[in-house]
Amino acid sequence: MPRTNIDAGMTTQIRLDMEDQRRGEAMVPLFLVSLVVGLAVGVLAGLLGIGGGMLLVPAFKLGYAMDSLMCTATSLFTIIPTSVSGAISHIRNKTCLPKLGVAAGLGAPACRL
């Protein structure tokens, strides 16, 4: 019996669902590996006094086969949680001027426009 368009659509949807499930299963180990890489880079950057991007960009390039632009952008994106964590610590310890930091932080991106 020939397949109808409805059968073909259902088969395609089942195939896509299976691919999504496999992709989700692969994401858990990838997330854990990324977490360990981030921890190792953080420790090394702290011990050596270098920026984490110096280690992350090659790790992304070699370990995840990402292109250079994506490696750099992802490395820059990792600054966000680090910055938020540091800002919270400095605000709690009263070692910074939050209003000045917010003003400077908002003014810098405006120059890119």
The predicted pLDDT at position 19 comes to 55
The model's pTM? 0.59
Query: Can you give the pLDDT at residue 99?
Result: 93
**CA angle at 44 for the pair 83 and 64, rounded to the nearest 5°:** 80
Closest CA to 81 of 38, 32, 31: 38
Residue type, 92: R
Q: What is the pLDDT of residue 89?
A: 94
Cβ burial, residue 66 (10 Å; 0-12/13-18/19+): middle
Q: What is the pLDDT along the chain (113 residues), one digit of tens a residue?
A: 444 444 444 444 444 454 555 555 555 677 888 889 889 998 998 899 888 889 999 988 988 888 999 999 999 998 888 889 999 999 999 999 999 988 888 887 777 76
